[in-house]
Every structure is written in C-alpha cells, then in structure tokens.
Structure 1
Amino acid sequence: MTIAIIGTGVAGLGAAYALSRLHDIELFEASASPGGHVNTVPHGDLGLDTGFIVHNEKNYPNLTRLFREIGVETQPAEMSFSMACGCGLEWSSRRPWRAGPKLLREILRFLRTAGEADVAGKSFDRFVRDEGYTDAFRWHYLVPMTAALWSTAPGDALEFPASAGIEFFRNHSMLGLRRSRWRTVSGGSRTYVEALLHRLEAQVHLGSPVTSLARTATGVEIRCADGMLRSYDGVVVATSAPRALALLEDPSGDERRMLSAFEVTANETVLHTDARFLPRRRSDRSSWNYQSPGCGVLADAPSLTYSLNRLQKLDAGVEYCVTLNRTDEIDETTVIRVIDYEHPKTTFASLAAAGYARSFGVVRRTAFAGAWQGNGFHEDGLDSGLRAAAAFGASA
C-alpha cells in the first residue's frame, strides 16, 4: 500500500516509523522543518529546546523504547516547580516550607487523599469546594500546577476534569514522596527526530501544507498548497483535531462529531535570557516557574517560564529561559526566538471523544493520530501514531 502521513510531529513520525516496515509512505509537513513540538533552537554550541523537553521511563514507555531502538542518548533532568503570586507569596518544590504550614498541609492532604475522592463529572473548581480546600490551595497550588502542566488558562484550569487531572498527578508522582525520574534528550530533542528520519526510507515534503483531503472509491486524494494533487491507498492525519476536520472535504457524521469535540489553546512562546522571569530568590528558581498576577485573577493565558539550564543541565553563564505569553514584557535584546504553539484543551467533551478516537481505527482509508487522543503529551502522540499504524496492519 501507499500511505500518506499528514504532519511530522511525534504522532506522524511514530506512524511513519511503524508503517515504513510494511508500506510505502510519504510525509507532508506544513512548516519548513519536521518535528512539530520538537523544536530545538541552535545557539552557539547549544541546542535549546522550546517545545518537547522532558520524559520519564515509567510514563513514556513507547518513547523510551523508540529512543533505544534508534540510538538516541538521554540524560537526567531536574524537575522542580515554583509559583509566584501577585499577592506576594512565593514558594517552590525546592523550598516547599515557603508555602507556609497551612498550604503545605493542604498540598500533602491532596496528594494523599485526592485519589480516593468522588470526582466523577466534577471540575477542579467543584472538587475544591466539595472537599473543603481553601482559596489559598486553589490559587497557589491547584490552578498554577494545572495551568502549567497543560499550558492552559487559569479559568480553564478550574474547569479541568478533576478525574483526568488527579489521575495524571498520581501516575506522574507530581510533588509526591516518590518522584518520577525525568530525562531529556542529550543535545536537544531535535536529535531524535533526525535519527528517526535517517532510518526512514520515505519522501518527506517539507513546507508543503495540505489544503484538502478527499476519499474516493479507490483511495484518497491529497491536495497541497502548490495545487499538486496526489493519490494514495490510505492516509494518517496526524494534526490537531480542528485542523484534521478542516482538511476533510467530506467528513462523515462520526468524524465530525469526534473531531469537533476538541479545541486548542494558543501560547506565544519566547526563548530568551531575561532572568527577571525567574524567581527573585535563586534558591527558588526551578525548572518550571509559574507567575500569577494575583489571587483569583483569571488571566486569558498561563504565564510560565521554563529554565533550560535546569531542564537540560546547561553549563552556561546565562539563564536560558522559555516564557509563555509575556512577550511584550521581555527585554527585546535578550530574545533569541519567538514561536507560536498550540496545545490541546482538555474538557469533559474532549475526554469522551478521545476514548472514541482511540478505537476509531481505519474508516474510509483514513486514520487519525495526535496527542489530543490522550493527555496531550509526547507519549500520547506517539501512542496514537502507533495505533494508526497498527490499524493499517503494521506491528507496533
């Protein structure tokens, strides 16, 4: 069979890696470089990651196996968290006592008992009220942590399905006594994309945005922005769900219901060296640093700064930072790169549709893949790509 793969993020690359052993494949990527959220910016002799950065072996088993198969080296990464609120409170997982005894007791209570709570159909906002947590816990722990993990606005963090959030916290040992051991790709995440593509015997069309996808009696037809029409026996659509729906010339009712249940959030992301976006106290500076304008302030987007020096263990004399949604405040002389990212938005509707999407298989010669079929993380994207490949007969 000839199979087209639209999108070269981890979902598309995972599908390609599995399918290339069985079928003839071609990949299409709208941007000038492959990788999707794998975006390593070269800077001198450094490779600075701005999208996908960390993983762990427990929660990312397929990604870990892939790295081993293609010979990609990884190294330990520091995983720590800080938050600073406009009310004046600053604390970090490196110095948790700075949260104060009352908030710290609530955090420990949450980590100890949240998994036993009745959270069916509840948002985090409802969960906090039903379980008797304080506003301090809401604004100084749960909202910052949720907004940071899913790159989502504080208001959306409050509406986040509690069952999905708590399950993720528990599985990933977030701030618990038994912490996951996090790792990062040595030399930058781009290393694994290059290694994987080197192993593929496939044509990769970069800078070739697909504008439409039609299913016919004998195959699928893909039209690109250059007007070229190409025909294949099947297709894996490895894009965001809204983009996938927009590509389909004739979506079925099931496809429309499934794909329309998903939304994305946009985050303007800046790679820079302006250390003002890290905590004032160096002892609080962490891998993930969340900034809140104030208790109860529902900003339109999350404000978060990643410390690449800590995540990638950079031996550098300056602080390399990746900051979300504060572009205008960053000293422009420190800016290295500005990137726009989209992240899946988790809602009750998307959770229900994701379950259906994971069992969708191949219908009308079409399979769908993307991290939106899971929690929105790299392993979820790879899992979906492997499922799509398996639906076309490939071995995972």
Structure 2
Amino acid sequence: MTLPILAPSACVLRHSCHKVQWPYPQLGFVVDGSVPLGRLDIAVVGSGISGLTAALILSKNHKITLYEKEARPGGHSNTIQIIEEDRSVPVDTGFIVYNEENYPNFTQLLQYLNVKSQTTSMSFSYSLSDRGMEYCSNGLNGLFGQRKNLLNPDAWQLLRGLLRFYKEARSITVSTHPDLTVGEFLKEGGYSKSFADLHLIPMISAIWSTSSQSTQRIPISSIVRFFDNHGLLQFRNRPRWKTVCKGSSVYVWRLLNEASVRLQLGQEISTISRTNNGVTVRNMHGATKNHDAVVLATHADQALRLLNAPTPSETQILGKFLYQKNTVVVHNDDSLMPSLKKLWSSWNVQSNSRSLDRMTVTYWMNKLQALDCQKDYFVSLNPYDISCSRTIYREFSYSHPILDSQMLSAQQDLRLIQGKRNTWFCGSYFGYGFHEDALVSAIQVAEALGSMRPWGKSNTDLPYSSTSTAVKSRAVDA
C-alpha cells in the first residue's frame, strides 16, 4: 500500500483496526497509523471527480452513500445537450481536456470504464478588442496573422519576451526563487508590458481560471514547473491533448454504473458532526444519517463550513485555501472571438486596454470537441459583453482554487488532518487544482481505508506534497 501523503493517526473506533506504517523517505522517518478492518458505512460528500473516484474504489469493500447537493452528479464534468434540428450536440462546460502523460490515473480510469476519447487541439489566441490587436499561437504566422502586427512594436516586444522567457525559465526553481510571484518576476526581470499583459498573464489566467491580479500573486516557480512538465516551454513535442467522446458526463455515468453506491442527488448537507463512534450527516431539511466515517470530496472552504466544531488544525489548514467564483456561459456570440477567423483557437482570451484585469476566456467547443453540428458553440468564463441578439444556452457558476503561496504552504500540512475523528478529505486543492489532482487525492484516501483501485497503478504523488518523490503536474481543465 503506497500512501505518499496520508498519515492517519485515528481510526473508526467501533471497528477493529490493524497497524500500518507509511514511509516518508524524503523526510527521513516512518509514520505509524491505523486503518479499520471490516466493512464500513462511509458517507462521501460531493460527486465531482474526487468524490466519484473515492466512492467507486471504496464501494468494493464498504457501504457507500454519495451525497450531492445538485440535481446531477459530476461537479465540473458537466455536459449539456443542445438540440440542433435533427441532432443533439454534447457541449462540455467545465472539465474539457486532458493528456495521457500528465493524467496517468485519469487515463487508466477511462480505460477501466471503457470510455473512448479523441485527440484535440490546444491552440491559444489573444485579442485586445479596443486596440484592434490580435494573434494566435500558430507560430510566426499566428503572431503576425494580422499583417499590421509586422509594424506593431507590441508584437515584436511580445516575441522577444517569449523567446527570453523560454530560455531563462528552467533556471527558476523553488530553491532559487521560493517566494517570488509572477508579478514580481516580470517587474524585477525587466520584461516588457507587451509580453506580460498580452501573453504570459492572459495565458496563466486562462489555465487557472483566475483574474489578472490573482495570477500575479502565483509563485513563478510553480508556473515554470507546470509549464515545463506540460511542454509549454518548447515549440515542439508538446503533449497530445484529448477530450472524452460525446462529453465528459459519459465517464460520470459509466463510473456510477460500475460503483455500488447509494446516490443521493439534491441532498445539500448543512452540518457534519463527529464523535468517537462515527459521524452524523444532517441535510438542509434537518434529516440526519449516521455513518462510520465521512469523506469530504468538496472544495476546502466548503469542507470547513460543513464541519460542526472543526479542530484548530482543520480551521487553520483548510482556511488557507481561497477560491475564485467564475460565471460560465454557453452561447454562440462570436464577438468574443478574434475578428479574423483564421486566428480562432481552442482557447481565446479577450481584454481591452482600459481594464486589462477584465479578461474573458472563451473556449471554441467545435474545435475542442470536434462537434458534428451546424453552428459555432462557445463556452466563456466571465464574459463582460455578450450581444443580446445572440443565444445564451446555459449559465453556470464554478469555483476554482487560487494557486498562491498560502495554498502551497497549506498543502504540505493536509496530511496532518487526514483520518482524524473519522474524517477524510480529498479534492483538486491537494495539487494544482485540476482533475488529476482531485482523482489522485481520492485514490490515496480510498487506499488508506483499505480499498485498492481496480485498475493498473500509476504515480500517485501530488505536486506540492511534502513527501512527493516526483513532481508530476497536471493538465489544464476548467
């Protein structure tokens, strides 16, 4: 049993326990712990990828009740169907893409569930709407797709900054620049505003679904590590990106069909109370249910709010994770795309010079999902202007963790609260904030409770675990 970050010191007291040891080679010590024997009654709260994975694996050995406050399961894996004459068009609205190199466990989960995927493109464009400048990532022809950019100093400064960043970035590590933020790095390094405002900051903001201000507070060493592992510091040999055929919800329902769980949709939990003998889950209507243990597969801030009488450690550690709420709109307004259609890309960032912090990220779903349809469909994060003459199909609200130094520090302490008072935690906040991070954290919890994943093993280190033996960053998803 390999448990890179979990160090539980408590077990469910109403069951017999057996002693186990988890080695921490990088820290030079071994942690003793206990896990319960026998079949447990476990509540899993939250049906995003971490909750689904935990429920699936744990259901092989335990009785599982999966609570979800929404009327649908899946969390950010949310596919809507748009009716277009004689066909139904599946459009993903949250999680969209992955690659096999940086998503090894998710890849094996899809294989286990016999879910098909298809290759996609991960091109990028940027438009400065009020200044008429735009470009895309398709080489020099993309940068100078507007031929007037050949005479635009901003375009040349952007190119020089990009080449310089690619050359210098790999020398930036946690040891050399432990606390240096993106904003400080750009300022101290003398990078041009053109490179900062028209490329690096918009790209990071698009990847992490954060504002320009939040982006500038991210440690630059974290960005470089992520970019390097994803081949973003090179022009060639980048990972091949994929999408789930017919939408990400396909794997959600296939997983639930495989798992032996009691699914409780529309069951918003108000409080979770813990005793030495187990936990009591109370919903918003006052109904209660007793369980041996609980797995909180929610955002960190949500988990803290759910706990009745959280411990000082839980309050301190979980309270360090901050989130940004993003409005996601599914529509067909191409005014949020580059004016030149040859520059349309999978990811498209639009801003204006009056307020560079107001950026809209628009995903061109036809290109990303290879949709068989007649119209163009877009998914935009925080659109500041959508034409009223266009169609808005659906609107959602998703929250994303803010990757700052406070979050990275708290991640190293998460193992200290695992398994205490019959309570376990998992979610994307254990890593970079993406799908693979959430899935890996769920695998670790399930295996700590004695259930092994029913597919082949891959690396289950998390990028900021204090015991991580290999840094493996995760792919980009909304």
Q: TM-score range by the shorter chain?
A: over 0.9
Name the CA shift for 1:370/1:226 in 2 (closer, same or farther; >3 Å): same
Shift of 1:217: 1.9
Aligned to 2:132: 88
Candidates 88, 105, 111, aligned match of 1:62: 105
Structure 2 stretches lacking a partner, 5+ long: 1-39, 150-154, 454-478
Give the Cα separation in 2 of the matches to 1:259 and 1:360. Answer: 9
Aligned to 2:163: 108
| Equivalent residues of 1:119, 1:127 under 8 A apart | no
What amino acid does structure 2 have at the position aligned with 1:237?
A: L
What amino acid does structure 2 have at the position aligned with 1:312?
A: Q
Shift of 1:295: 7.1
Shift of 1:51: 0.3
Give the Cα separation in 2 of the matches to 1:221 and 1:395. Answer: 26
Q: Secondary structure of the residue that 1:364 maps to in structure 2?
A: helix
Q: Bigger shift: 320-329 or 43-52?
A: 320-329
Number of paired residues?
394
Aligned to 1:9: 48
Candidates 172, 184, 196, aligned match of 1:138: 196
| Equivalent residues of 2:66, 2:261 under 8 A apart | yes
Q: After superposition, where does 1:225-264 map in structure 2 within 5 Å?
A: 225-264=284-323
Q: Secondary structure of the residue that 1:48 maps to in structure 2?
A: strand
2:400 equivalent to 1:356: no
Shift of 1:110: 1.3
Shift of 1:277: 1.2
Structure 1 stretches lacking a partner, 5+ long: none
Give the Cα separation in 2 of the matches to 1:313 and 1:151. Answer: 23
| Equivalent residues of 1:139, 1:295 under 8 A apart | no
| Equivalent residues of 1:373, 1:381 under 8 A apart | yes
Q: After superposition, where does 1:266-305 map in structure 2 within 5 Å?
A: 266-294=325-353, 297-299=356-358, 302-305=359-362
Give the Cα separation in 2 of the matches to 1:216 and 1:361. Answer: 15
| Equivalent residues of 1:40, 1:189 under 8 A apart | yes
Deviations along 1:63-99, one digit per CA (max 9) or x if unpaired, are 0000000100000011110011243321111244327
| Equivalent residues of 1:6, 1:29 under 8 A apart | yes
Q: After superposition, where does 1:29-48 map in structure 2 within 5 Å?
A: 29-44=68-83, 45-48=88-91
What amino acid does structure 2 have at the position aligned with 1:110?
A: F
What amino acid does structure 1 have at the position aligned with 2:444?
A: R
**CA-atom RMSD in angstroms:** 1.6
Name the CA shift for 1:373/1:330 in 2 (closer, same or farther; >3 Å): farther
Q: Bigger shift: 41-50 or 2-11?
A: 41-50
What amino acid does structure 2 have at the position aligned with 1:5?
A: V
Instruction: Normalising by structure 1, report the TM-score.
Output: 0.96
Candidates 222, 227, 241, aligned match of 2:281: 222
Shift of 1:325: 1.2
Q: Bigger shift: 361-370 or 61-70?
A: 361-370
Q: Secondary structure of the residue that 2:228 maps to in structure 1?
A: helix
Aligned to 1:148: 206
Where in structure 1 do 4 or more consecutive aligned residues deviate above 4 Å?
A: none
2:250 equivalent to 1:191: yes
What amino acid does structure 2 have at the position aligned with 1:104?
A: L
Give the Cα separation in 2 of the matches to 1:29 and 1:61. Answer: 26
Name the CA shift for 1:309/1:125 in 2 (closer, same or farther; >3 Å): same
Shift of 1:284: 0.6
Deviations along 1:178-210, one digit per CA (max 9) or x if unpaired, are 211000000000000010000011100000001
Aligned to 2:219: 161
Shift of 1:248: 0.5
| Equivalent residues of 1:274, 1:331 under 8 A apart | no
Give the Cα separation in 2 of the matches to 1:288 and 1:186. Answer: 19
Candidates 310, 313, 319, aligned match of 2:376: 319
| Equivalent residues of 2:157, 2:194 under 8 A apart | no
Give the Cα separation in 1 of the matches to 2:58 and 2:450. Answer: 8
| Equivalent residues of 2:348, 2:361 under 8 A apart | yes
Give the Cα separation in 2 of the matches to 1:356 and 1:277. Answer: 41
Give the Cα separation in 2 of the matches to 1:285 and 1:359. Answer: 47
| Equivalent residues of 2:82, 2:90 under 8 A apart | yes
Instruction: Normalising by structure 2, report the TM-score.
Output: 0.80
Aligned to 1:369: 426
Higher helix share: 1
Give the Cα separation in 1 of the matches to 2:279 and 2:215. Answer: 39
| Equivalent residues of 1:49, 1:188 under 8 A apart | yes
Give the Cα separation in 2 of the matches to 1:54 and 1:391. Answer: 29
Give the Cα separation in 2 of the matches to 1:64 and 1:358. Answer: 26
Q: Which has the larger radius of gyration?
A: 2
